Structure 1
Amino acid sequence: MSTTHDIPDYSAWARDDLITETTRLALEVGEAENRGWDKRAVLCREKYHQAMAALIALSTPFDRFAARRAEATREGHLIEAARLRRERLGVNGEVPA
Protein backbone atom coordinates (compact mmCIF):
# COMPACT_ATOMS: atom_id res chain seq x y z
CA MET A 1 0.00 0.00 0.00
CA SER A 2 1.35 3.42 -0.96
CA THR A 3 1.24 6.45 1.32
CA THR A 4 2.12 10.10 0.86
CA HIS A 5 5.35 9.37 2.75
CA ASP A 6 6.62 6.86 0.20
CA ILE A 7 9.59 7.95 -1.86
CA PRO A 8 9.00 7.18 -5.54
CA ASP A 9 11.44 5.00 -7.47
CA TYR A 10 12.98 7.91 -9.32
CA SER A 11 15.40 5.60 -11.17
CA ALA A 12 12.55 4.66 -13.52
CA TRP A 13 11.63 8.29 -14.35
CA ALA A 14 12.48 10.13 -17.57
CA ARG A 15 14.94 13.04 -17.49
CA ASP A 16 12.32 15.71 -18.25
CA ASP A 17 10.02 14.34 -15.54
CA LEU A 18 12.89 14.45 -13.02
CA ILE A 19 13.64 18.07 -13.91
CA THR A 20 9.98 18.95 -13.39
CA GLU A 21 9.86 16.99 -10.12
CA THR A 22 13.00 18.56 -8.63
CA THR A 23 11.72 22.03 -9.47
CA ARG A 24 8.33 21.26 -7.92
CA LEU A 25 9.93 19.79 -4.80
CA ALA A 26 12.26 22.78 -4.35
CA LEU A 27 9.25 25.09 -4.42
CA GLU A 28 7.33 22.81 -2.07
CA VAL A 29 10.22 22.80 0.43
CA GLY A 30 10.15 26.60 0.47
CA GLU A 31 6.40 26.70 0.98
CA ALA A 32 6.52 24.11 3.77
CA GLU A 33 9.30 26.00 5.55
CA ASN A 34 7.45 29.31 5.21
CA ARG A 35 4.32 27.78 6.74
CA GLY A 36 6.23 26.09 9.56
CA TRP A 37 5.42 22.59 8.32
CA ASP A 38 8.72 21.07 9.43
CA LYS A 39 7.81 17.42 8.84
CA ARG A 40 6.54 18.21 5.34
CA ALA A 41 9.72 20.16 4.57
CA VAL A 42 11.90 17.23 5.65
CA LEU A 43 9.92 14.80 3.49
CA CYS A 44 10.11 17.11 0.46
CA ARG A 45 13.85 17.63 0.96
CA GLU A 46 14.36 13.86 1.14
CA LYS A 47 12.41 13.39 -2.10
CA TYR A 48 14.33 16.26 -3.72
CA HIS A 49 17.71 14.70 -2.95
CA GLN A 50 16.56 11.27 -4.18
CA ALA A 51 15.26 12.81 -7.42
CA MET A 52 18.47 14.81 -7.93
CA ALA A 53 20.57 11.66 -7.46
CA ALA A 54 18.48 9.91 -10.12
CA LEU A 55 18.78 12.89 -12.46
CA ILE A 56 22.56 12.99 -12.08
CA ALA A 57 22.71 9.24 -12.77
CA LEU A 58 21.13 9.94 -16.17
CA SER A 59 23.79 12.49 -17.10
CA THR A 60 26.57 11.77 -19.57
CA PRO A 61 29.79 13.38 -18.33
CA PHE A 62 32.07 14.74 -21.06
CA ASP A 63 35.31 13.50 -19.48
CA ARG A 64 36.57 11.48 -16.52
CA PHE A 65 36.87 14.56 -14.30
CA ALA A 66 33.26 15.48 -14.92
CA ALA A 67 32.31 11.86 -14.23
CA ARG A 68 34.07 12.03 -10.85
CA ARG A 69 32.37 15.31 -9.95
CA ALA A 70 28.98 13.96 -11.02
CA GLU A 71 29.45 10.81 -8.95
CA ALA A 72 30.57 12.82 -5.90
CA THR A 73 27.56 15.10 -6.25
CA ARG A 74 25.22 12.13 -6.69
CA GLU A 75 26.70 10.46 -3.61
CA GLY A 76 26.24 13.70 -1.65
CA HIS A 77 22.55 13.77 -2.57
CA LEU A 78 22.14 10.13 -1.49
CA ILE A 79 23.89 10.79 1.83
CA GLU A 80 21.69 13.82 2.52
CA ALA A 81 18.56 11.87 1.55
CA ALA A 82 19.55 9.10 3.99
CA ARG A 83 20.15 11.67 6.76
CA LEU A 84 16.76 13.26 6.13
CA ARG A 85 15.09 9.84 6.12
CA ARG A 86 16.61 9.09 9.53
CA GLU A 87 15.44 12.49 10.77
CA ARG A 88 11.94 11.91 9.38
CA LEU A 89 11.70 8.47 10.96
CA GLY A 90 13.10 9.69 14.27
CA VAL A 91 16.28 7.64 14.08
CA ASN A 92 19.19 9.67 15.39
CA GLY A 93 21.91 7.06 15.01
CA GLU A 94 22.67 6.82 18.72
CA VAL A 95 23.09 3.37 20.19
CA PRO A 96 21.39 2.88 23.56
CA ALA A 97 23.72 1.94 26.43
Structure 2
Amino acid sequence: MKARKEREKDELYALDISGVEWHSAPGTEQHEERVEIAHLPGGAVAMRSSLEPGTVLRYTEAEWTAFVLGARDGEFDLEPAPGRTGPAAP
Protein backbone atom coordinates (compact mmCIF):
# COMPACT_ATOMS: atom_id res chain seq x y z
CA MET A 1 0.00 0.00 0.00
CA LYS A 2 2.74 2.47 0.97
CA ALA A 3 4.73 1.67 -2.18
CA ARG A 4 1.64 2.30 -4.33
CA LYS A 5 1.05 5.68 -2.70
CA GLU A 6 4.68 6.66 -3.16
CA ARG A 7 4.52 5.63 -6.83
CA GLU A 8 1.33 7.70 -7.30
CA LYS A 9 3.03 10.76 -5.78
CA ASP A 10 6.16 10.26 -7.88
CA GLU A 11 4.04 10.05 -11.04
CA LEU A 12 2.03 13.09 -9.98
CA TYR A 13 5.16 15.21 -9.45
CA ALA A 14 6.63 13.96 -12.74
CA LEU A 15 3.72 15.45 -14.70
CA ASP A 16 4.49 18.49 -16.83
CA ILE A 17 2.01 21.09 -15.56
CA SER A 18 3.47 24.07 -17.40
CA GLY A 19 0.31 24.46 -19.50
CA VAL A 20 -2.37 23.94 -16.84
CA GLU A 21 -5.10 26.49 -16.25
CA TRP A 22 -5.01 27.93 -12.73
CA HIS A 23 -8.26 28.86 -10.97
CA SER A 24 -8.87 30.99 -7.88
CA ALA A 25 -11.93 31.88 -5.86
CA PRO A 26 -14.55 33.92 -7.70
CA GLY A 27 -14.24 37.64 -7.07
CA THR A 28 -10.49 37.68 -6.53
CA GLU A 29 -8.40 40.04 -8.61
CA GLN A 30 -5.16 39.18 -10.41
CA HIS A 31 -3.11 41.42 -8.08
CA GLU A 32 -4.63 40.01 -4.85
CA GLU A 33 -2.98 37.34 -2.71
CA ARG A 34 -4.92 34.13 -3.27
CA VAL A 35 -4.76 30.34 -3.44
CA GLU A 36 -4.91 28.89 -6.94
CA ILE A 37 -5.71 25.34 -8.02
CA ALA A 38 -5.36 23.44 -11.27
CA HIS A 39 -7.10 20.19 -12.17
CA LEU A 40 -4.72 17.41 -13.22
CA PRO A 41 -5.31 14.03 -14.89
CA GLY A 42 -7.00 11.32 -12.84
CA GLY A 43 -8.78 13.75 -10.54
CA ALA A 44 -5.54 15.04 -9.02
CA VAL A 45 -5.14 18.72 -8.10
CA ALA A 46 -2.21 21.13 -7.97
CA MET A 47 -2.31 24.05 -5.54
CA ARG A 48 -0.13 27.15 -5.19
CA SER A 49 -0.07 30.62 -3.68
CA SER A 50 -0.25 33.56 -6.06
CA LEU A 51 2.70 35.00 -4.10
CA GLU A 52 4.85 31.88 -4.70
CA PRO A 53 3.72 30.52 -8.09
CA GLY A 54 6.85 28.40 -8.44
CA THR A 55 6.02 26.38 -5.33
CA VAL A 56 3.31 23.92 -6.27
CA LEU A 57 1.81 21.21 -4.09
CA ARG A 58 0.15 18.26 -5.80
CA TYR A 59 -2.58 16.05 -4.37
CA THR A 60 -3.99 12.75 -5.54
CA GLU A 61 -7.73 12.54 -6.05
CA ALA A 62 -8.11 10.74 -2.69
CA GLU A 63 -6.06 13.36 -0.83
CA TRP A 64 -7.96 16.24 -2.41
CA THR A 65 -11.33 14.65 -1.69
CA ALA A 66 -10.36 14.10 1.96
CA PHE A 67 -9.21 17.73 2.24
CA VAL A 68 -12.37 19.17 0.67
CA LEU A 69 -14.66 17.03 2.81
CA GLY A 70 -12.69 17.98 5.94
CA ALA A 71 -12.87 21.68 5.05
CA ARG A 72 -16.61 21.44 4.50
CA ASP A 73 -16.94 19.73 7.86
CA GLY A 74 -15.02 22.51 9.65
CA GLU A 75 -11.88 20.49 10.42
CA PHE A 76 -9.64 23.39 9.36
CA ASP A 77 -11.56 26.28 10.90
CA LEU A 78 -9.24 28.61 12.76
CA GLU A 79 -9.92 29.96 16.21
CA PRO A 80 -10.10 33.77 16.50
CA ALA A 81 -6.89 35.39 17.69
CA PRO A 82 -6.94 36.40 21.37
CA GLY A 83 -8.80 39.67 21.88
CA ARG A 84 -10.45 39.52 18.45
CA THR A 85 -13.81 38.41 17.24
CA GLY A 86 -14.50 36.86 13.88
CA PRO A 87 -11.94 35.07 11.69
CA ALA A 88 -8.40 34.65 12.90
CA ALA A 89 -5.90 37.31 11.95
CA PRO A 90 -4.00 36.60 8.70
**TM-score (structure 2 length as normaliser):** 0.30
Return the index of the structure with the highest Cα Rg: 2
The structure with the greater share of residues assigned to helix is: 1
Normalised to the residue count of structure 1, the TM-score between the two structures is 0.28
| Larger RCO (alpha carbons 8 Å, 6+ apart) | 1
Question: Counting strand residues as a fraction of each chain, which structure ranks higher?
Answer: 2
